[in-house]
Amino acid sequence: MDGTFNENDLSRVVEADRAHIWHHLIQHKPFETNDPRIIVEGKGMRVWDQKGKEHLDAVSGGVWTVNVGYGRESIAKAVYDQLMKLCYFANSAGSIPGSIFAEKLIEKMPGMSRVYYTNSGSEANEKAFKLVRQIAHKRYGGKKTKILYRDRDYHGSTLATMSAGGQDERTVQYGPFAPDFVRVPHCMEYRKHELDGAPEENFGEWAADQIEEVILREGPDTVGALCLEPVTAGGGVIEAPEGYWQRVQEICKKYDVLLHIDEVVCGVGRTGTWFGYQQYGVKPDFVTMAKGVASGYAAIACMVTTEEVFNMFKDDADDPLNYFRDISTFGGCTAGPAAAIENMRIIEDENLLGNCAAMGDRMTGNLRALMEKHKVIGDVRGKGLFLGAELVADRATKEPAPEKLTQAVVADCMAQGVIIGATNRSVPGRNNTLCFSPALIATADDIDQITDAVDGALGRVF
């Protein structure tokens, strides 16, 4: 293949993709006969592929990212202006957009204080894990190194974050993992029957109490932190039941366990508040975020801590090891915070948090109505514009619908010009939860178009 082609020669782009690209998270055998999909352009809620076909994007770029929608000229301009002024300098020095965004971010996070810039959600989580380990060595004589994570939660693709991986589909065959990561049970009301001893009533408190059991089993003096998603994303879009978060907070306090909330998906508006944890009155020690921070216009992630955590690393300045010995080269890129400032301005000026909550209610209502019509929907759940509909073969037994059929629903929607997702990677081959996370700019018509497509697809597939 001769390597000279331009971006308008889309059949050559497809050929080059087929010859050289290793796509994320998919089997490539089908590309021997089918064309890979190339997304060429995006505007608002919609994207166009290489065939010129228009799609309504109900998953914000596939993985809950483009919160303010495509084609935002003001973000592109802010990034352009900043790059022309200063593209990069290592983050041991500061930058103008870095300072401005940090101040704006902290205004939205009462109780939090310090922002550490990095590039991806996985990395932000790794930074927090490293801090927990360092605190264990500094304060607790090398004890309290254990980090608890929850079944069905996901924290990233690196080896340490996979060591905290609650989704077996993503972790099997990648071990051995890092030591001192310990799993606690999930808190999914709909599948509580899969947990030994789960009660009918007060399941939220019971699920939180299981965390205490694990702490007691491991020894409170060995457990440094608990890492949780506010609403579990890839594990099946799971909101914790009533009573859960209050108990979690009490347990962390009781055993001196730092609470790390992974807001990589929920952060910056996805659930209808700036952060998911704010829906539940939680007071974290660490918050990590990535996807929606700049809506994918630039790569940026943040690990945010309290001043108390920060102070542990400056109180003994004579100790040559008493600072956070960590760096992220691209944490010094200025495009990220420049895009993030504008992203945040858009969310405020266009009242996208309010829109997210209102459109989330509308979508929940539409999905519940579909549940009446299609017995294959066993559960509808989520928060704001972060929703899931779990498909089951049998409502009584809750046996998951076959993944093949779930994927057929996704493909049918795609054929109708609506991109939805399917998730629940907790058990290999069990991705039976349809997943919806449209941009926060979605209108009532967009929401209805998405759920109408699902209605049609379910009718044809089941």
Give the Å distances, CA to CA, from 255 to 225, 226, 244, 250. Answer: 10, 11, 17, 9
Interacting positions 368-427 with ligand PLP (CB under 6 A) = none
In the bound complex, what is the minimum distance in angstroms from residue 298's beta carbon to ligand PLP? 13
In the bound complex, what is the minimum distance in angstroms from residue 395's beta carbon to ligand PLP? 28
User: Dihedral through CA 43, CA 44, CA 48, CA 52, nearest 10?
Assistant: -70
Residue 276 interacts with ligand PLP (CB under 6 A): yes or no = no
Q: Residue 356 is encoded by which pair of tokens?
A: 């997210």
In the bound complex, what is the minimum distance in angstroms from residue 235's beta carbon to ligand PLP? 9
Instruction: Considering the complex, state which of residue 61 and residue 241 has its C-beta at the smaller distance from ligand PLP.
Output: 61
Could you tell me whether strands 258-262 and 223-228 are parallel, antiparallel, or unpaired per DSSP bridges? parallel
Residue 234 interacts with ligand PLP (CB under 6 A): yes or no = yes
Q: Residue 437 is encoded by which pair of tokens?
A: 């996370």
Q: Which residues pair with 46 in a beta bridge?
A: 43, 56
Residue 233 interacts with ligand PLP (CB under 6 A): yes or no = yes
Residue 113 interacts with ligand PLP (CB under 6 A): yes or no = no
In the bound complex, what is the minimum distance in angstroms from residue 160's beta carbon to ligand PLP? 12
Instruction: Considering the complex, state which of residue 121 and residue 384 has its C-beta at the smaller distance from ligand PLP.
Output: 121
Q: Which residues contact 94 (CB under 8 A, 6 or more apart)?
A: none
Residue 164 interacts with ligand PLP (CB under 6 A): yes or no = no
In the bound complex, what is the minimum distance in angstroms from residue 279's beta carbon to ligand PLP? 16
Binding test (CB under 6 A) with ligand PLP, winner from 72, 133, 155, 260 = 155
Binding test (CB under 6 A) with ligand PLP, winner from 157, 171, 246, 322 = 157
In the bound complex, what is the minimum distance in angstroms from residue 125's beta carbon to ligand PLP? 6
DSSP E strand boundaries for 322-423: 377-383, 386-394, 399-400, 418-419, 421-423
Nearest Cα residue to 344 out of 267, 256, 436, 450: 267
Residue 265 interacts with ligand PLP (CB under 6 A): yes or no = yes
Q: Residue 213 is encoded by which pair of tokens?
A: 């059991």
Instruction: Considering the complex, state which of residue 126 and residue 212 has its C-beta at the smaller distance from ligand PLP.
Output: 126
Q: Which residues contact 351 (CB under 8 A, 6 or more apart)?
A: none
Question: Which window, 178-186, 240-248, 257-265, 353-361, contacts ligand PLP (CB under 6 A)?
Answer: 257-265
Per-position DSSP letters for 292-316, written without gaps between them: GGTTTSS--EEEEE-HHHHHTTTS-
Rounded distance, CA 229 to CA 266, Å? 8
Residue 167 interacts with ligand PLP (CB under 6 A): yes or no = no
Binding site for ligand PLP (CB under 6 A): 63, 120-122, 125, 154-157, 229, 233-234, 262, 264-265, 290
